[in-house]
Amino acid sequence: MATENKKYLPFLSMFLAPGLTWISVNGWESDSTSTLELSRLIPRIPGACPNLRLLEVKYDPDQSTSLEKLVDALSRSLFSLPRLTSIYTSIPLGAGTLENLGAHPSIRTLNLSLGPYHFRRDLTPTIMYSHLASVHVVTEDIGPLTELFTSCSSAPLHSISISLRRMESTAAMQRFLSALCSNPEHRMRQTLKSLCVHLRDVSDRRHHSDDRVGLLIRPALVFRRMMEFSWPSAYPFSDFDDATVLALSHAWPRLVNFHLMDPLEHDGSFPSHMPTASLHALQYLGQRCRRLSSLKIPIEARATDIAGFEYSLSQSKLSSLHMVNSSIHLDTSDDLAIVARYLDDLFPSFDPRFLVPRRPSLSEWERMWQR
């Protein structure tokens, strides 16, 4: 059952029935009347729809007096739907909901929007989210998710996507990565295929006084089934270099997308101290990660780095290469042609229009590729 028009709201309870397996409330205008009606409807769902498997409530509630009732109604109802597998909601969760849901017997997908939330480990069951496979959360604070992933070592997670409303400290992001990577008992070490973290507002570049904290990507190489890795350039990895890319190419041979920038980021928005790799790193990825389709990493390109490169038929499927925050150093008049030939040979399927380094200019690059 789906509804996108709030005028039907007073009549929705008439359609609740034991045979319903999914309910979607989406696109309603936020006002106090809708918030109140929803807070009355949601508590009826568990009793009327015991076989419900998917509940979607994409509704941004106004800050009315009914908001607290709506949050409480949703949080309580989720515990009373024993066959529920998927939750999609933009309504904030009440205190203790994220922890107590860990004992739910069938939850596989969490798609949530978190407001201010204090995660309490003392409320968590011994076994947390034993069937949880996918987590997509929009949040202002990475802290509750750090606590969540620390607590659910038995979850067979294959996809994690985090959208940050504001920039976190580097230390907070380090704690988040440690929660994912440091526990050898984590079941997700054998199951995780996608880890994506994004900044929703790329103009938010408030850097914090924690320069002593350096993020490391190497600990993430424990996830041997990784196919997609996306990380915002606001938090560069201090160990990103040729040796790390070589290790990564061995650890992640199934890799399809590897991005060290957000989709909405553009040149000029990157930290000036972002570590880079050389053209050799592209060779490691091209030869070992045969499924690689999209690559966005910082490169310092010099023709001298690929002296002696043996040109051969490449099997790489790469179609999108963004050398973000990168430079092609032109020591001689032939260097640009050498680099262009190297990339064309290594990645024969990619479109050079998407390769936009800081130097040389785009017009120079396009002219060289047309030769």
Question: What does the pLDDT read at residue 315?
Answer: 75
Sign, CA dihedral 345-346-351-355, equals negative
Question: What does the pLDDT read at residue 259?
Answer: 95
- Choose among 349, 343, 346: nearest CA to 323: 343
- Choose among 242, 140, 148: nearest CA to 188: 148
CA–CA gap between residue 338 and residue 333 (Å, rounded): 10
Question: What does the pLDDT read at residue 370?
Answer: 47
Spans of the chain below 50 pLDDT: 207-209, 267-269, 358, 362, 369-371
- Choose among 130, 248, 257: nearest CA to 198: 257
Is residue 38 within 8 A of residue 57, CB to CB? The reply is yes
Measured CA distances, 18 to 13, 50, 275, 349 (Å): 12, 6, 57, 52
Q: How many percent of the chain have pLDDT more than 90?
A: 45
Is residue 38 within 8 A of residue 6, CB to CB? The reply is no
Token code pair at residue 184: 């050898």
Question: What does the pLDDT read at residue 26?
Answer: 80
* Contacts of 320 by beta carbon, 8 Å cutoff, 6+ apart: 293, 294, 295, 296, 350, 351, 354
Query: Domains in the chain, ordered, with CATH?
Result: 2-298 (3.80.10)
